[in-house]
Amino acid sequence: MLPVGDVRHWHIGPAPASLETAPINPASARKAIKMSIAVVYESMFGNTHRIALAIAEGLAPFGVVVTANVNDQQAKEATRSADLVVLGGPTHVHGMTRPESRKEASTLANDTSKDLSLEASAPGIGVREWIKDLDLVPALCAAFDTRVDMARILTGAASGHIEHALTKRGSRSIISPESFLVSKDNVLEDDELDRARNWGASVGKAMEQFIHH
Ligand SMILES: Cc1cc2nc3c(=O)[nH]c(=O)nc-3n(C[C@H](O)[C@H](O)[C@H](O)COP(=O)(O)O)c2cc1C
């Protein structure tokens, strides 16, 4: 990972003429580079967590992937050395969560009439604070969120705000932000995990295209 502003070189030059080796095929040489990818998420009730794991599965063929919650120390450590950060969180009040909205989510989880439980890593900061606190931001980024399955104009979407916050810090977004949908009762809609796996693969392909062109 290089600090923001530094230029990262992925170029692979020809082997020195003095070496008696088979000529390097630039295409396979490029493939030999293992990109380092951090999938970082915030989650109150577990849906964004599950989506993050599915995205990481889709990304697995494209590099070394570490998945961590914003409240795990590992999230910062992995991001510091990552080429790409894939960052997501739940949509609260049309955007990224805030301390007050997370408190409201905790209250909902304590309501026995609702079938909700709070993630072990939920208490603490959210994506908004995590980005502000990052000392180094990877060169490349992609953003996702979870939100209610209704017209986006009514729900808002945290992912656009996450992308904006990361690009403001100097990272380059390689794919449009994506939303994954939950019901009004906070249950992931059918096929969203498959969609997340596929989106993870699309992020991997976008990363490869970005590096190779
Ligand atoms: C306080 C609060 C505010 C919310 N506001 C929105 C909203 O503005 N738009 C929306 O689509 N969903 C909203 N939701 C639903 C969340 O997006 C949903 O609970 C979340 O995606 C589930 O992810 P999680 O299980 O990882 O927490 C809100 C939920 C809570 C608790």
Nearest-10 Cα torsion for 13, 14, 15, 20? 170
For each of the domains in the chain, give its residue range(s) and CATH number, in order of start.
Answer: 33-212 (3.40.50.360)
Ligand 1 centroid to Cα of residue 22, in Å, is 56
In a mutational test of the pocket of ligand 1, which residue from 48, 67, 148 has the highest number of ligand atoms less than 8 Å from its CB? 148
Å from CA of 58 to ligand 1 middle = 24
Which tokens go with 103?
């408190």
**What average pLDDT does this structure show over 194-199?**
98
At 34 the pLDDT is: 86
Confidence of residue 90 (pLDDT cuts 50, 70, 90): very high
How far is residue 56's CA from residue 11's CA, in Å, rounded to a whole number? 26
Would you place residue 211 in the very low, low, confident or very high pLDDT band (cuts 50, 70, 90)?
confident
Structure confidence at residue 213 (pLDDT): 76
What pLDDT, in 10s, does the model give residues 28-77?
445 567 899 999 999 999 999 999 999 999 999 999 999 999 999 999 99
- Say if residue 184's pLDDT is above 90: yes
What rounded mean pLDDT belongs to the chain?
Answer: 88
Q: What's the 112 CA to ligand 1 centre distance in angstroms?
A: 18
CA of 93 to the centre of ligand 1 (A): 7
pTM: 0.88
Query: Which of 40, 67, 70, 91 is the best mutation target for the ligand 1 pocket, counting ligand atoms within 8 Å of the beta carbon and taking the most?
Result: 91
Asked whether the predicted pLDDT for residue 140 surpasses 90, the reply is yes
In the chain, where do the E strands start and end?
Answer: 35-41, 63-69, 84-90, 140-148, 172-173, 178-182
Position 191 scores a pLDDT of 97
Mean pLDDT within 109-136 = 94
Residue nearest to atom 2 of ligand 1 (CA): 92
Can you tell me which atom of ligand 1 is nearest the CA of 93?
Answer: 8
Contacts of 103 (CB under 8 A, 6+ apart): none
pLDDT score of 26: 53
Could you report the per-residue pLDDT of 3-32, keeping only the tens digit for each?
333 323 333 333 333 334 445 455 544 556
Q: What is the pLDDT of residue 16?
A: 37
Closest C-alpha to ligand 1, atom 3: 92
Residue 10 main-chain phi, psi, to 5 deg: -105, 5
Mean pLDDT of 81-91: 97
- Closest atom of ligand 1 to 108 CA is 31
Q: Is the pLDDT of residue 123 over 80?
A: yes
Residue nearest to atom 28 of ligand 1 (CA): 92
CA-closest residue to ligand 1 atom 1: 101
